[in-house]
Homo-oligomer: A and B are copies of this chain.
Amino acid sequence: MTNRIRIAVLGASGYTGADLVRLALGHPRMEITALSANAKAGQTMADIWPHFFPHPRLPTLVRAEEIPWDGIDAVFGCLPHAASAGILSGVRGPRIIDLSADFRLRDASVYAEWYGNAHPAPTLLDEAVYGLTEFARGALRDARLVSCPGCYPTAALLALLPLVEAGVVGTERITIHALSGVSGAGRGLKDTHLFAELAEATHAYAVGRHRHMPEIEQELSRRVHRPVRISFTPHLVPMNRGELETITVELMKGVTATDLRTVLQRRYADEPFVHLLPVGVAPSTRMVRGSNHCVLNVFEDRVPGRAIVIVAIDNLVKGSSGQAIQNMNRMFGWAETLGLEAAPLFP
């Protein structure tokens, strides 16, 4: 165990926290030292997560304030927004990888507008590195505080950033239609998340007001140096994991769907986790289930001058805990794929 870093997970009683623990158990350089879940303090992980019964050596859950930070090398924040920044702003010592929404938006007033509360730690916003790994490598190495993107922005930006940076698509009419498995909605008790309400059905939610929207806009705007507004409509699909985004873009004059493929092919040729599929193959969430991979492809649209980009990830892995570990690997100078090599689980 001597070559392992000691990690803490704040909020281990949510799906994101649990999936981080799952991945950490298989990571050769991580030692799970502390797990917090305030409402469940004193219980074991197996008590609240039956799939951890075969892993009885996990630390007992404690309250966040009970964690002795000086023994921890890295802390993963898997808490709800506001709570996360509230606690993490007091953490000294460990490097911080936050999976909440608190450090994603660079402008505290935009945060307040979308999240409904004043930002708990606005002075940290400048320091936070936006951890979309493939686009943040330089900054990650020495970062103290990394903010992992939301699941929807991860998929959207992996598809769009190379195209926007290459100047091959417009940014005026980007339309993102997103599908998510139900784990993305969290483990909170709402009757809308009961099995019988969701099975055998699908619906859109938060239409025109989902909080991942300003995050996607922020990152696109940074690249084009002007404000971008996108259309984004998320839907819940009766499955546990997986996220699929079907994105309609307007092509710059003279550009074809094939050109978009070329841009993505070049950009991701050497990426271990992002894969352009062969011509005509539609991305499916089953191609990436349980893995840190992302698959994407480009299709001609029937409307002239447009193209359709489709991208799939596992919302809990590349969209959350897997990317957090990918960032950690980078921060600590290890191979980025360490602990994330597992092939997708299908069927």
User: Are the C-beta atoms of A232 and B54 separated by less than 8 Å?
Assistant: no
Given contacts A238-B238, A302-B231, contact A286 B26 (CB under 8 A): no
User: Are the C-beta atoms of B54 and A208 separated by less than 8 Å?
Assistant: no
Given contacts A193-B194, A341-B26, contact A347 B15 (CB under 8 A): yes
User: Are the C-beta atoms of B187 and A194 separated by less than 8 Å?
Assistant: yes
User: Are the C-beta atoms of A345 and B22 separated by less than 8 Å?
Assistant: yes
A177 to B175, CA, bound (A): 10
A25 to B18, CA, bound (A): 24
- Chain A: number of interface residues, binned into ranges: 35 or more
Q: How far is the CB of A24 from chain B (nearest CB, A)?
A: 9
User: Are the C-beta atoms of A182 and B195 separated by less than 8 Å?
Assistant: yes
List which A32-65 residues lie within 8 A (CB) of chain B: 49-55
A288 to B203, CA, bound (A): 12
User: Are the C-beta atoms of A233 and B308 separated by less than 8 Å?
Assistant: yes
Interface assignment of A229: CB less than 8 Å from any CB of chain B? yes
Given contacts A244-B235, A304-B229, contact A284 B203 (CB under 8 A): yes
User: Are the C-beta atoms of A49 and B246 separated by less than 8 Å?
Assistant: no
User: Are the C-beta atoms of B191 and A194 separated by less than 8 Å?
Assistant: no
User: Are the C-beta atoms of A207 and B238 separated by less than 8 Å?
Assistant: no
User: Are the C-beta atoms of A347 and B241 separated by less than 8 Å?
Assistant: yes
Write out the residue numbers on chain B whose beta carbons fall within 8 Å of the beta carbon of A288. Answer: 51, 54
